[in-house]
Amino acid sequence: MMAFRRTKNKIIKDHKKLSFDYVPRELPNRDKQINRLFTLFRGVVDSDISQNVFLQGSVGTGKTATAKRFCLDFKKWASEEGKKLDYIFVNCRRSNNNSQAMWKMVSHFDKRFPDRGFSVGEMMKILGKHIKEKGIHLMIILDEVDHLIKKDGSELIYLFSRFDDESFTPQGSVSLILISQKNALEFLEEGALSSFKRGNRIKFPKYNPSELYDILEQRSGLALYPDSIKEQELQLLADIAAKRGDARLGIELMEKSALLTEEKSRDKIDAEEIRHAKAEVDPYFTENRIRSLNEQEKIILLASARLLKNKAFTTTGELEEQYKVTTEGYGINTLGHTQFWKYIKSLTEEGLLDSKTVSTGTGRTTKITVSDIPAELLEQKLESIIER
Ligand SMILES: Nc1ncnc2c1ncn2[C@@H]1O[C@H](COP(=O)(O)OP(=O)(O)OP(=O)(O)O)[C@@H](O)[C@H]1O
Ligand SMILES: [Mg+2]
């Protein structure tokens, strides 16, 4: 048998807080969306009305997390205001037809409800009975709703939007929150669409690097031991995730790089682990790709790799110095500044280098890094490819 050493984890303090379904108490940079939800839904409590709301935004923009956080907090607030309210979350990728979605809702109230033998219409009536008996307002969240619409059209949404008119329940008993990456409203038929007012559509824009920084800083505080990731490395994570504006990518990379660091029994996540994690998620630097570069491009990448082996970012000035030393080492002619700069730009455009201009105390400078491959690995590859 292997002798597993019982080493203590040095990076991850609470793994649950990195999992996909954990929802933090606060969601940085989503105040606007949460306030809009509150403005729309407070009428449910104040004036017994219903609401139909649509949340839209691309991958990892916090739609699901925001809806969950809002429902949790709103239910509590409503109960303090003396209003009985409950909510049901249906993931329509998993429950992707009307019958399954209805079953999910009914079994929220009756854990042993049989999963066959009832039609959609019958389950609707049963749901209405539960709502009436309990005297609650029910918020139904149809997450990733496009899967349901694709399968079964918009009938269910239509039925819910006039749930009360069909006299299943008293007026103002059921609200809907639809969530989708795409504009799912486009696929609704007239009847279902008319219940979604213009003002009831809430957009979730892609996160920018500084917003992702806030999110990742919060998450590292919750999930990791203090000081196990520093500012520069958090910034690198945020910059990588910002290429897609995707908080999930940032958190996944944080988890992967934390695990890689623990494997090495180190106590700080460094840039190389982050690049390793990124390369695992989507490899970009293939052998062919590197071979297809010209000699100068290879040398510039090699110089970058050498500088980045133990740090998150370098600068153009520093890189140009290293580039000169490297060309001399290989006996290759050294380009002037303008040419050198052109190559930096084209390597950046190709996604092989990442560069961004930042303001510093003394002016502006360009920070350069690689994010798609560990610098050490890139160095080895280039050294074996470049001819002496
Ligand atoms: N503002 C935020 N603050 C803290 N964590 C966030 C924030 N936004 C997103 N997250 C986290 O990022 C991950 C992705 O968020 P979420 O699942 O809500 O995205 P989504 O918009 O529903 O994406 P998809 O369209 O793929 O379903 C989750 O782990 C979530 O907790
Ligand atoms: Mg989601």
Residue range 14-32, pLDDT digits in tens:
999 999 889 999 999 999 9
Cβ–ligand 1 contact at 30 (below 6 Å): yes
CA–CA distance, 255 with 220 (Å, rounded to integer): 9
Q: Closest ligand to 60 CA?
A: 1
- Tokens 């969950």, located at residue: 68
The whole-number average pLDDT for the span 115-132 is 93
pLDDT(11) > 80:
yes
- Number of other residues whose CB lies within 10 A of the CB of residue 219: 22
Cβ–ligand 1 contact at 59 (below 6 Å): yes
pLDDT(169) > 90:
no
Q: Where are the domains of the chain?
A: 30-204, 207-281, 287-385
pLDDT(121) > 70:
yes
CA of 212 to the centre of ligand 1 (A): 11
CA atoms within 13 A on the CB side of 117: 3
Structure tokens, 277 = 């994690």
CA–CA distance, 374 with 170 (Å, rounded to integer): 61
Cβ–ligand 1 contact at 251 (below 6 Å): yes
Cβ–ligand 1 contact at 181 (below 6 Å): yes
CA–CA distance, 36 with 18 (Å, rounded to integer): 27
- Ligand 1, atom 9, residue with closest C-alpha: 62
| Confidence (pLDDT) at 9 | 76
Strands 174-180 and 85-91: unpaired
| Confidence (pLDDT) at 8 | 66
Secondary structure class of 140 (helix, strand, coil): strand
Secondary structure class of 90 (helix, strand, coil): strand
CA of 60 to the centre of ligand 2 (A): 7
| Confidence (pLDDT) at 166 | 63
Cβ–ligand 1 contact at 131 (below 6 Å): no
**pLDDT tens digits, 44-96:** 999 989 999 999 999 999 999 999 999 999 999 999 999 999 999 999 999 98
- Tokens 């500012």, located at residue: 231
- Number of other residues whose CB lies within 10 A of the CB of residue 361: 4
Residue 5: pLDDT band with limits 50, 70, 90 = low
Return all residues near 143 (Cβ < 8 A) that are at least 6 apart: 63, 64, 67, 89, 90, 91, 92, 93, 179
Cβ–ligand 1 contact at 24 (below 6 Å): yes
Closest approach atom of ligand 1 to CA 211: 1
| Confidence (pLDDT) at 7 | 60
**pLDDT tens digits, 260-317:** 999 999 999 999 999 999 988 867 777 778 888 999 999 999 999 999 999 999 999 9
Residue 1: pLDDT band with limits 50, 70, 90 = low
- Ligand 1, atom 24, residue with closest C-alpha: 59
On whether the 287-385 domain is CATH 3.90.190.20, my answer is no
- Ligand 1, atom 17, residue with closest C-alpha: 64
Q: Which of the listed residues 23, 61, 254 should we mutate to test ligand 1's pocket, taking the one with most ligand atoms within 8 A of CB?
A: 61
On whether the 30-204 domain is CATH 3.40.50.300, my answer is yes
Strands 363-369 and 354-360: antiparallel
- Tokens 């039925």, located at residue: 159
- 207-281: CATH class: mainly alpha
Question: What are the percentages of helix, strand and coil residues in the chain, rounded to 5?
Answer: 50, 15, 35
CA–CA distance, 251 with 59 (Å, rounded to integer): 13
List residues bridging with 57 in a β-sheet: 204
101-109 long-range CB contacts below 8 Å, 24 or more apart? 101/142, 101/148, 101/156, 102/127, 102/156, 105/140, 106/130, 109/134
**pLDDT tens digits, 200-220:** 999 999 999 999 999 999 999
Cβ–ligand 1 contact at 245 (below 6 Å): no
pTM: 0.85
Question: CB–CB of 220/180 below 8 Å?
Answer: no
Residue of 353, 382, 374, 383 lying closest to 264 (CA atoms): 374
